[in-house]
Amino acid sequence: MQFKSDSKTILLIEDDEMLRDSTSIFLTEEGFNCIVAKNGLEGVEKALEFLPDLILCDIAMPKMNGYEVYKILNENSATSLIPFIFISAKTEKEDIRVGMQLGVDDYITKPFDLDELLKAVQLRISKREKLIHSSQNSYKVLLESSLVGVFIFQNNVITFTNSKLQKILNLSQKINQKWNLFESIHPEDKGNVEEKVRRCIKGIQSSFSINFRV
């Protein structure tokens, strides 16, 4: 699957093939990377694999319904903060109430206007980006005051190091050029580090400690 690195990624979980295809094509034409899943179980698997920027999910689906999908992803630290929008033909107030009580971000009923869907998607992604930016700034201030060396790792690239780490490893020049951590690890240690990072990204473990050569 070829993704545009500068585009947001949306996971569409929908068992209606025609709606799934048309919505996926529309979102792709609007500049998003769109991943599709034909049922709830596949949707959970792809959410954990790709960690999308937003999830669109039908409610009535085989193998696992939308409520179950949301509950599973909401309990996983890797996916719990991803904006989640239900798309469903269910228009009864009780169904909408259940979804909102679970904590989903929005609810769109079928048939929906594609422009309406686009506005909802853009709004939720924009709000998430603002929250992330705000928390990152606060976090970086905290990291700068740390007595130990700390770095932030995103998409195989170290995007931030505090002053302490730069002094310890003399990394300032590398960081300015975006240091790809995996490319810098000794070949014999690379596999172990990649596995530890993967487990953290998937939410299997919250942290790890490992020694490796660069």
Q: What is the pLDDT of residues 92-120, one digit of tens each?
A: 667 777 777 787 888 888 888 899 999 99
Which residue(s) pair with 35 in the sheet?
A: 11
88 and 180 both lie in a single domain: no
29 and 127 both lie in a single domain: yes
128 and 37 both lie in a single domain: yes
Least confident range from 18-22, 101-105, 150-154: namely: 150-154
Q: Is residue 139 part of a domain?
A: no
63 vs 90, higher pLDDT: 63
Give the count of domains, the chain: 2
Q: Is residue 140 part of a domain?
A: no
Question: How many Cβ atoms are within 10 Å of 20's Cβ, its own excluded?
Answer: 19
119 and 65 both lie in a single domain: yes
Q: Is residue 128 part of a domain?
A: yes
125 and 177 both lie in a single domain: no
pLDDT in tens, 76-88: 988 988 999 998 8
Residue 37: which residues within 8 A CB-CB, separation 6 or more? 11, 12, 13, 14, 43, 45, 46
- Tokens describing residue 7: 């585009």
118 and 157 both lie in a single domain: no
**Domain termination site, one of 132, 155, 173:** 132
What is residue 38's predicted lDDT score, i.e. its pLDDT? Answer: 95
Band (pLDDT 50/70/90 cuts) for residue 156 is: low
128 and 96 both lie in a single domain: yes
pLDDT average, residue stretch 188-211: 79
Domain encompassing residue 171? 146-201
pLDDT in tens, 122-142: 999 988 787 777 666 666 777
Query: Is the pLDDT at 164 greater than 60, yes or no?
Result: yes
164 and 97 both lie in a single domain: no
What is residue 155's predicted lDDT score, i.e. its pLDDT? Answer: 65
SS (H, E, C) 71-125: HHHHCCCCCCCCCEEEEECCCCHHHHHHHHHHCCCEEEECCCCHHHHHHHHHHHH
Asked whether the beta carbons of 77 and 203 are under 8 A apart, the reply is: yes
pLDDT in tens, 21-64: 999 999 999 999 999 999 999 999 999 999 999 999 998 888 89
Q: Is residue 82 part of a domain?
A: yes
How far apart, in whole angstroms, are the C-alpha atoms of residue 123 and residue 126?
5
State the chain's mean pLDDT as an integer: 82
Closest CA to 62 of 86, 79, 37: 37
127 and 150 both lie in a single domain: no
Q: Is residue 138 part of a domain?
A: no
CATH of the domain at 16: 3.40.50.2300
Which residue(s) pair with 56 in the sheet?
A: 12, 85
What is residue 71's predicted lDDT score, i.e. its pLDDT? Answer: 94
What is residue 186's predicted lDDT score, i.e. its pLDDT? Answer: 86
Residue 92: which residues within 8 A CB-CB, separation 6 or more? none
What is residue 28's predicted lDDT score, i.e. its pLDDT? Answer: 95
How far apart, in whole angstroms, are the C-alpha atoms of residue 179 and residue 202?
22
Dihedral sign, CA of 53, 7, 126, 115?
negative
Query: Is the pLDDT at 152 greater than 80, yes or no?
Result: no
Burial label for 76, CB within 10 Å (0-12, 13-18, 19+), is middle
Residue 2: which residues within 8 A CB-CB, separation 6 or more? none
63 and 124 both lie in a single domain: yes
pLDDT average, residue stretch 142-165: 74
